Structure formats: C-alpha cells, structure tokens
Amino acid sequence: MKIMFEFIYQLHDAFEQAGLENPWQETLHLCDILSGGALRGLDGRSPQSLTPQNMSLEEIVGQRQQGVPLEYILQQTVFMGRPFICTPDTLIPRAETELLVRTVLNHAAALDSDELTIVDVGTGSGNIAVSLALELPHSRVFALDISPEAVARAQAHVNQYKLQERVTVCCGDLFAPLANASLEQAVDIVVCNPPYIPTGSLEKMSAEIVAHEPLVALDAGPYGINIFRRLVRDAQFYLRPGGLLAFEFGAGQEVLVQRLLQKSGGYEQMHPVLDHVGTPRVFVAQKAVSMP
C-alpha cells in the first residue's frame, strides 16, 4: 500500500511541475484508467511501468501539456468497470454515458423475457453494445456505426470479450445495415449515444475535445438535433410495440427532444432520466402499442 501512495504522489508532482491546471484530477484520472477502476490494482506499480508499452511518465506529461486526452495517450479507458482500448478513431467512452447503459439494464430487468434483441446505433468503440451483451447474457446485439474505423474498433472489443456469437457489428448510416436483417417490428431496445453538439457550439468546447476526438461523433448540425430527428423516426420501423428507445442528449435539449417524440406520434411513456446531480441526460420512450 505504501508503494501505491508513493506512486500516486509521484504522478501528482510530475503533473504539478508541468503546470497542468488540476494535477490531482489528472493523477486520479490516470490511476483510474490504469487500475481498471480499482486503485488497489496499482499497488506495486511504478512510473516506469505505466502502460503495456512502458511509456515513460515524461512522455505522458508532455502529451498532456499538448492537450492530448489521457485515454488516447494510454490507449485505454474504463467503462462500466471494464477496460476498453481507446484511440482517436472513436469518441472517448465517458462515465456520463454509463447512465444510458444502466437505464437500459433497469428496463431489461423489468421485462418478462429471456431473450432480447438490442440495436446500438452509433456504437463507436462498441462500449455500450459490449457492456449490454455482458450484462444481459441472453441478448442479441447489433452494433452499428457509419465510421469504418469505429466498426473495426468495436469488432476488436467484441472479439476481446468473446461475444462474436451474440454481437454483430455492421458499418452504415444509422439503421441502414439492418435493411436485410428481418428485424422490422422485432427489436426490443434501440439505444444510442448520438452526436448532439450544435455546430456553432463546437468552437466553445474544450480544445482538448475538438482537436482530438472525431468531429463526426460530436457535430449534430445547427440545433444539435439532426440525428435525433432520424433516430426517432426510423427506430419506429424496427421497434416492436412497447419496445424501448433510449438515447443520450445534451444540456438544455430535453424540450426539443420531447417535442420530436410527441410530434412523431409513435411513442408513449416519454420522459428524461436524471443523472446523479439531477441533470437530464437520457431520454426514454416506448413505441406505442397501438399506432395512430
């Protein structure tokens, strides 16, 4: 345990001397990633053995000074308590998105069904699809993304967790890869963490995000709801009556999202889900059992 604390203080001192804004936050974030979410996993580690690639502490600090996210430097992150490879090909899986996964899991637990068909639209690195498949062992998951690079990364994670028989990764725009999958009116859950940043707001975001993460996973058009419109419309074609649509959205967008769902006329039981500080982060809606 003493070695672990010495390790943490060494990290803090290095970040502080480098002039980074919040050295303790940097230290704890790095430790969380390296330990897979459990700091005790660092016991016995040293700054000379930070990563499998034996990257030096100086290299990490230098790249952080240039604004490169820690997840991309280390090429790994933690999501739902599990390690995932992280490269600039995909958006960094964030702890905030775990609320979306937990929301779907809570819904699944309330269903009287041994088998579930789930579609993850815009899967990115596959962190949502993989997490749901691992937590729901009788589920069948389709992970879709328009980016070939993201699809390759998602497939690598499916292979890593040995989920090839239950998770299918496909490349295409929104639901396009499902055109010949015979899933019309047969999907239990559609889940999505879409781009939701208005184009005009990108320049106001942290340079660390805009300069390093893929813009296709961030930019959602003038009002930040371009993908929402298509998602709400097209999900109705695949969801079974009573099926769940669950997706993440940005700050202040809940009214726009609610109106989109109401205007579609195809959903009921629509409501936002609040995060741990009471901020609406996820919207859920069920496909109407009897369509108008």
**The pLDDT of residue 222 is above 50:** no
One-letter amino acid of 106: N
**The pLDDT of residue 247 is above 60:** yes
As a whole-number percent, the residues of the chain with pLDDT over 90 amount to: 49
**The pLDDT of residue 107 is above 50:** yes
How far apart, in whole angstroms, are the C-alpha atoms of residue 248 and residue 287?
17
Q: Per-residue pLDDT tens for 272-290?
A: 999 999 999 999 999 998 7
Name the more confident of 33 and 44: 33
**The pLDDT of residue 117 is above 90:** yes
Residues 6+ positions from 230 with CB-CB distance below 8 Å = 174
How far apart, in whole angstroms, are the C-alpha atoms of residue 287 and residue 172?
24
CATH architecture of 95-287: 3-Layer(aba) Sandwich (3.40)
**The pLDDT of residue 211 is above 90:** no
How far apart, in whole angstroms, are the C-alpha atoms of residue 99 and residue 269?
19
**The pLDDT of residue 88 is above 60:** yes
Kind of pairing between the strands at 116-121 and 187-192: parallel
From the DSSP assignment, how many helices (H) and strands (E) are in the chain? 10, 9
**The pLDDT of residue 214 is above 70:** no
Q: For residue 57, what pLDDT band results from cuts at 50, 70 and 90? A: confident
How far apart, in whole angstroms, are the C-alpha atoms of residue 273 and residue 283?
6
Q: If you average pLDDT over residues 103-132, what whole number do you get?
A: 94
Q: If you average pLDDT over residues 110-132, what whole number do you get?
A: 93
Q: What is the predicted pLDDT for the residue at 102?
A: 97
Q: For residue 200, what pLDDT band results from cuts at 50, 70 and 90? A: very low
Q: What is the predicted pLDDT for the residue at 58?
A: 80
Q: For residue 162, what pLDDT band results from cuts at 50, 70 and 90? A: very high
Whose CA is closest to 232, among 175, 156, 150, 281?
A: 175
Q: What is the predicted pLDDT for the residue at 4?
A: 59
Q: How far apart are the first and last CA of the chain?
A: 63
Q: For residue 34, what pLDDT band results from cuts at 50, 70 and 90? A: confident
Query: Rg for the chain (alpha carbons), in Å?
Result: 20
Name the more confident of 81 and 292: 81
Helical ranges in the chain per DSSP H: 2-17, 23-34, 57-65, 70-74, 98-109, 127-135, 148-160, 207-210, 226-238, 254-264
Q: For residue 59, what pLDDT band results from cuts at 50, 70 and 90? A: confident
Q: If you average pLDDT over residues 11-32, what whole number do you get?
A: 77
Name the more confident of 38 and 184: 184
**The pLDDT of residue 167 is above 90:** yes
Q: For residue 204, what pLDDT band results from cuts at 50, 70 and 90? A: very low
Residues 6+ positions from 206 with CB-CB distance below 8 Å = none
Q: For residue 116, what pLDDT band results from cuts at 50, 70 and 90? A: very high
